[in-house]
A and B are shown apart, each in its own frame.
Chain A
């Protein structure tokens, strides 16, 4: 009797159960950017031109998105690990300013870093000396922000496990035709290899490089230990991704010494406890701290990496001296379009923009963007370091090794991702109301479809059902290159409106079932149990976080777990 009720209320349920491996907060990623990528992708010959077949700029396979209030802010960093560190001059040939689209966005970011190697006199470099810095005169008025950035994080972590590879060019990322470089050791960078570069191109630049597949779960573990080290200095830690974070140490100075001392102690502890190198930028604002940390990085060279200063400080009072000579696209939020508009106004450097009357900046760039960039150009960035940024959405997506045409196969992929998303939601005690589906076609045209439910959910069964309905509304006959499933509108799990379908002699059947599956997976691995739909040919193909984050490997079943 009740069974009948179930079948109706839970219509479309497949044999289900669930997943993840989440770990901790993944990568910061901005939706706005994505939108623009999508538009760019529509332009013929753009985006894909210098990376045929490769997922442009970091196939961010999954991202816990944090929507920032600031418009059009460049990536704090996404999957393409510390891309702006690559400072090998040989990169310039392909990273010209004139490029439109994604590439140049990355390019402009990198240029900003290059440009930072400006007048050295205004920047204090301190290596384990603590000799300089930090406004002693007005330490109460000024904040001390640290930006800590792990050096070639994924590659460094891999080297700890495979010390025999030390000194060799090591690349972490997708090795398949559509893979991208997630991280490259400094030895690899000397060959011009950098994050977000198509793996195919990386191989061509350095055929003897060692390619390692990413192990997202492991990086997540290491990252959370590193973040805990940061938190032992201040509770104001804002992770931007697995490998970088902002720290506000203003309140810690009295107890722990000035910001530089803290920065050096952090570097020391991360090196001692995890064996990993990192670079720290110290400044009065987040924006400047981030620029500074990039300047503290090691540099690749054919003769071996040149160590960086490790800790770079922009002294209070010297911010403008540092900032103004930089090219204007060093500012967060100046992408190719904005840059072009500014160039037409004769604005080349940050100083030019700062000198522009505010009204003129607003007229040229719009109200929000104009105000924001003008403020940044004047080193005004009062954004606080916010610990525990709440994720706004959870999504998984995957670029397939070859385009998928079969509707049933696509449905299976949608179920697989719904399964992974739901597990991650439950792991984080989150529920969301808006289910979205992202489809990228072979011509890079990308669409998103979403539906908002009347009740928030963390159920893989529900998410899969909605994702399949959304998929049915999309014409997939041209084939599908990438498929993604996400849940947004997140709230804290805890208050859950029960449905009649939930009751069966007092048990909330599906909830309990999905949680039981979570437990089974925690104990026996994510491939131990999963939606029946995903069992193909005696194998259970479930998606785990980080799988194929940097593009698919070639050949089927790379993420297959034997049942």
Chain B
């Protein structure tokens, strides 16, 4: 294998594919490497941890086709350290030679045949607007759990609803639901559970805009963004029935300016230490935020808000609350509550496409 290309291009391809490589070192040593495959002028760089696989394709000046697996971090560091300009890569007899200007590095390669073949997802390709999809991911993915002991909750549910595609995630403390009306990805009633880690990586790729092509298969899902293909194993199992969690009616409703609330919670949170909550005291006069940590101090802040309902104080984990306010769209948001122990709903006023359900903190 032999090719020449611009350093910047190669750095980007190695970096993108390298994000799928597990830093913790899996069971297969070959997975610490990136697989480079040259066919004509097409170079495909692939990294994988078996659950997540990312392939980046770039145009290079190809000289001799071939396949090689090179240690991921090392090759990325070496290429990044080169002088700007053209880089030449030559692989022969188990050595990869990387040369640029007067620099010349030789890296031992890993036998390429050990690299697992990752099948792409089958299924029909559906193309979505990258920006809109990225937006939806940003709202939903943070609500997924990072606790591997509850694998189901580490996934984001993609479900076909009559009105379009729905994304749902929960870590059992909060739940985020986002609808993409008019988007048809799956057959009606069909749903898949995609690991949130894969979707966080996807969100990074989507930041450039353009379009994303989805393929949702039985076991894998693939996302194709501008020459980069991200393939992920799907999580098997049944997602909790989140619909039953959303209260049907809310006696209390607070409407408030989103950025004012965001800033105020950020301030008050400074005094909500040692996992103490932030209290929201709601009355027709408005909203008062209270945080107090024993032996540390307390913070109060009053905010103008329209409140319809009984006077009520509810406490929330400030981080969960902030995240909900942060990812909600629009200028005005509405917090709907039942009582101090039941889930509260956060929505954007005049927009039913996003809902953030949040369990309170019980204060004794």
- Flag if A491 contacts B274 (CB, 8 Å): yes
B363 sits at the interface (CB 8 A):
yes
List of A residues within 8 angstroms of B276 by Cβ? 495
Closest Cβ–Cβ distance, residue A489 to chain B (whole Å): 10
B241 at the interface (CB under 8 A from A): yes
Query: Does A493 interact with chain B (Cβ within 8 Å)?
Result: yes
Contact B149 A506 (CB under 8 A): no
Smallest Cβ-Cβ distance to B338: which chain A residue: A506
Interface centre among A11, A495, A508 (most CB of B within 10 A): A495
Is A9 a contact partner of B173 (Cβ separation < 8 A)?
Answer: no
Q: Hey, what's the 0/1 contact readout for A486-503 against B, CB within 8 Å counting as 1?
A: 000001111111111111
Docked Cα-Cα span, A506 to B245, in Å, equals 11
With an 8 A cutoff between CB atoms, is A94 at the interface? no
A-B contact count (CB 8 A): 85
Residues 1-31 of chain A, each 1 if its beta carbon lies under 8 Å from chain B, else 0:
1101100110100000000000000000000
Residue A409, interface by CB 8 Å: no
Q: Do B172 and A499 touch (CB < 8 A)?
A: yes
Scan B145-170; emit 1 where CB is below 8 A from any A CB, else 0: 01101101100000000000000001
Query: Using Cβ atoms and an 8 Å threshold, which residues of chain B touch A491?
Result: 274-275
B200 at the interface (CB under 8 A from A): no
**Chain A proximity mask over B267-285: 1 for CB below 8 Å, otherwise 0:** 0000000111100000000
The A contact surface, by secondary structure, is: mixed
Q: How many angstroms from the CA of A494 to the CA of B364 in the assembled complex?
A: 5
Question: Which of chain B's residues 136-152 have a Cβ closer than 8 Å to chain A?
Answer: 146-147, 149-150, 152
Whether B256 sits at the interface, judged by CB under 8 Å, is no
Contact of B361 among A5, A9, A495 (CB under 8 A): A495
| Contact across chains for B172 and A500 when beta carbons are under 8 A apart | yes
Given contacts A8-B150, A495-B275, A495-B276, contact A1 B361 (CB under 8 A): no
Asked if residues A498 and B150 are in contact (CB atoms below 8 Å), the reply is: no
A497 close to B359 (CB less than 8 A): yes
Residue B324 is within 8 A (CB to CB) of chain A in the complex: no
Is A455's beta carbon under 8 Å from chain B? yes
Question: Are B240 and A8 in contact (CB-based, < 8 A)?
Answer: yes
CA A322 to CA B360, docked complex, whole Å: 60
Q: Given the interface contacts A495-B362, A498-B360, A503-B343, does A455 sit within 8 Å of B241 by beta carbon? A: no
Residues of A within 8 A of B2 (CB): none
> Is B238's beta carbon under 8 Å from chain A?
yes
CA separation between A266 and B341, bound complex, in Å?
A: 49
On whether the beta carbons of B241 and A499 are closer than 8 Å, the reply is: no
B246 to chain A: closest CB distance in Å? 10
A221 to B240 Cα, complex, angstroms: 47
Q: Is A454 an interface residue, CB under 8 A from the partner? A: yes
Cα A499 to Cα B172 in complex, Å, equals 5
> What CA separation (Å) do A465 and B362 show in the bound complex?
23
Q: Does A469 contact B (CB under 8 A)?
A: yes
Chain A residues near B (Cβ < 8 Å)? 1-2, 4-5, 8-9, 11, 453-456, 465-466, 469, 491-503, 506, 508
Given A1-B244, A497-B173, 7 extra CB contacts under 8 A: A9-B150, A11-B150, A465-B149, A495-B364, A499-B173, A500-B172, A503-B359
